[in-house]
Structure formats: structure tokens, C-alpha cells
Amino acid sequence: MLETSARLLSLLSLMQSRPAWPGSELADRLGVSARTIRNDIDRLRRLGYPVDAARGTAGYYRLGAGATLPPLLLDDEEAVAVAIGLRAGAGVAGIRESSARARAKLEQVLPHRLRRQVAAIHDSMSRAPENTGSNVDDPEVDAATLAAIATTIRDHEWIRFDYRVREDTGYAVPTAPSSVSGSRLIEPYRLVSWLRRWYLVGRDPQSGAWATFRVDWMDPRMPTHRPFTPQPLPGEDYTSFVLRDVASTGWKVHARIAVLAPAEEVLSRINATVGVVEAVDDRSCVLVTGADSVETIAVYIGMLGIDFHVAEPADLVEHLVTLSGRYSRATLPVPPTTSAGSDRSASWSRTATVRKASKSGS
């Protein structure tokens, strides 16, 4: 028979492994009487572990929720998995510090053999950049803001917040409700994480219109504590709604691009998350897309492999002109190296001009 302290740890480990246990099954697992199990349950309660009990033939014991967080028992695989997961969490904007603190606490109490496993995995791995699709830093999202929003979703309560669309770049943005700064009062339904950004899907209680809001642009105000009767999004596919909505309203830079190809062909070449395609006629369409920088949009539309025309925003047009010249020069002979970079560029430019002129003459 196990000693009392060891038995308590075994009992706690069993109770953490599944929601509910009949007392007789716990007694069989630990090789003790039902009375001993009742005494051990009382000891756990005195140690701060909330244990709920249901009496009768279908009775059971179950760990409940308490006012404080008691120690958790993890087996070897669970402890290593949590430690590795916390190391990965250090790369998520907004929770770096809390992940590092939790990891340090866990690794401090890991047995030497498990600590060596975690260290071996960490030391033998290299982390690639999380953000390879944009030249804009990932936004920071306060964990407390996420928790506050999630609470209103759980409790079906209206949420009031100030919304500040980041228009510091001066690029034009559409006039959709989620693309205009101001105070908002909405029914919150779902948080969606996509491309290292967080979005809230909500419904305007007055108009009934659905919209996607970037959490890093939100500043929640005092809780309303005003409940509402949920009216879920038709189809309840919140993730797909976010992907479609963000393409046209959720970026700092937006563009309407005339594409010289049928809408069906453009749709076959892009992911639904890239943008919204609007047919013009059987030979052309408009791609509504966006990103947090003009450089990223230029990459997206260049990958289409189809002729297109861009009239706005002006910053995107200017960037495409710059790219056009850069790509044209890339096909010219490599310029000679000179001591002055400006002289080299001027010389290369003159060479290009002469080359073009000679081709025209011939």
C-alpha cells in the first residue's frame, strides 16, 4: 500500500486525468478502502484542492474550480509538451513576458532528466521568423483585452469600445463600419486569430450588419453588463467571414485592381483570403485586396501572372513605377564597379539609354 503522501499525489493525478471518478474505482486503482478514499479527499480539500462530490449509486468525485490555482500534477510527456509550448508562446506578440514567466516556473521544478530533454530540444532547434509575408511588424495585443472580449462573448453581453483605424500611412481605406475610427457598441460573437492578428466578429444591434474588427485597433471601455439574445451569423462560419471581410476592410492599405482576365480565372489563382473578385465583363474583373504595406500588395498582385492596372492609392502606383524600373534594369548587363555609387548608377543609366536607342534604330 502506498504511503499517505504518495497516495495523495497518485489520487490527485488520477482526478486530474478525467472529469469524474466513482469512489469505488478510485479505491480499486489505489488498492485502498472506500473509507480511505473519503479521508484522502478531505485531506486534498484542506490542502486547497476543491473536490465536488455527488452521493448515491451514481456518485462520483470531481475536481472543481476554486478561488486560487492549486499545484498541478503533470506526467513526463505533459510536462515536456507544456514547456515546449511555452517556449513557442514566447514568439506570440502580446504574451511573451507571461509565457517566459510560466516557462521559468515550470522548468525550475522539472526533474533533472526532463529538464535535460527540454533543454536538448531547445538547444537543437532554430526558430525561423514568424512573419515572412509582410514587411510590417506584427501588432501587439494585450492579453487583458483578449480576456475582456472573450468574457463578453461568453456572457452574451454588448461590448463598447473605441476603434482607432491606423491611417498614419495616409493610404485610402474603404468606408465600411470596421474601417472607420470612432466609438462602437456591438454584439460580440467570435474571436478569430489569423496571420498573427486577432479579429472580433460582431453584429450591430441597430442595423443588424456584421463586421470584423481588428483587436489591436480596439480599446474596450467599461463593461456594459447588458445581455443580448444571440442571433448567430448565418451558417456560423465565422472564420470564413473574417477571411472575406479582412480582404476588403481590415488592412491599413486597400486597393481596387483592374485585372485583364475573367473573374473565374483570377479566382482560380488566388486564395479566398487574398481578396474579393468582382466581375466586370467576360474579359475583365476587379480585385479588391489589401495589406499593411504597399510592398506586400505589390507582391500579391505580381504573383497573379496576369496583366493588371492600378489607379489608386497613389503610394501603390508610385511603388509599382519604382519596381518597374528596378525590374527593367535587372535585365541589363551588370554595370562596372566604380568608386562612387552615384557615378555607377549614372553610367548604367546612360548605357541603358544607348542600348534602347540602338534597338529602336535597328
Do residue 164 and residue 233 come from a single domain? yes
In a domain, 228, yes or no: yes
Highest mean pLDDT among 242-256, 320-334, 342-356: 320-334
In a domain, 336, yes or no: no
Residue 14 to residues 5, 63, 179, Cα–Cα distance (Å): 14, 10, 51
d(CA 286, CA 263): 8
User: Do 216 and 232 form a contact (C-beta atoms < 8 A)?
Assistant: no
d(CA 102, CA 85): 11
Return the pLDDT at 205: 94
pTM: 0.52
d(CA 136, CA 311): 23
Band (284; pLDDT cuts 50, 70, 90): very high
Return the pLDDT at 339: 52
- Which one is predicted more confidently, 75 or 164? 164
| Cell 461568453, located at residue | 154
**Could you give the percent of the chain with pLDDT greater than 70?**
76
284-309: average pLDDT: 88
Q: Which range is least confidently modeled, 68-72, 77-81, 118-122, 145-149?
A: 68-72
User: Quick check: 16 pLDDT over 70?
Assistant: yes
Other CB atoms within a 10 A radius of the CB of residue 119 amount to 13
Return the pLDDT at 88: 62
d(CA 164, CA 183): 9
Return the pLDDT at 114: 80
Q: Which range is least confidently modeled, 34-38, 49-53, 95-99, 305-309?
A: 95-99
Please say whether the dihedral angle defined by the alpha carbons of residues 277, 279, 280 and 282, taken in this order, is positive or negative.
Answer: positive
User: Quick check: 201 pLDDT over 70?
Assistant: yes
User: Do 90 and 98 form a contact (C-beta atoms < 8 A)?
Assistant: no
The number of domains in the chain is 4
Could you report the per-residue pLDDT of 71-87, keeping only the tens digit for each?
666 777 877 888 777 76
d(CA 202, CA 224): 15
Do residue 263 and residue 233 come from a single domain? no
d(CA 200, CA 198): 7
Do residue 219 and residue 281 come from a single domain? no
Domain that holds residue 312: 254-330
Rounded to the nearest integer, the mean pLDDT of the chain is: 79
Do residue 213 and residue 272 come from a single domain? no
- Helix axis angle, 76-89 to 96-109, nearest 10°: 150
d(CA 354, CA 151): 68
| The three-state (H, E, C) secondary structure of 163-174, written as one string | ECCCCCCCCCCC
d(CA 114, CA 83): 10
281-291: average pLDDT: 89
Could you report the per-residue pLDDT of 287-296, keeping only the tens digit for each?
988 887 889 8
Beta bridge partners of 190: 201
Band (57; pLDDT cuts 50, 70, 90): confident
Do residue 147 and residue 108 come from a single domain? no
- Bond before 234 cis per omega within 30 degrees: no
- Which one is predicted more confidently, 207 or 104? 207
By residue count, the chain amounts to 362
Domain end point (choices 214, 249, 284): 249
Q: Which three cell numbers stand for residue 32?
A: 485502498
Read off the CATH number of the domain in which 42 is found.
1.10.10.10
d(CA 215, CA 40): 46
d(CA 33, CA 20): 18
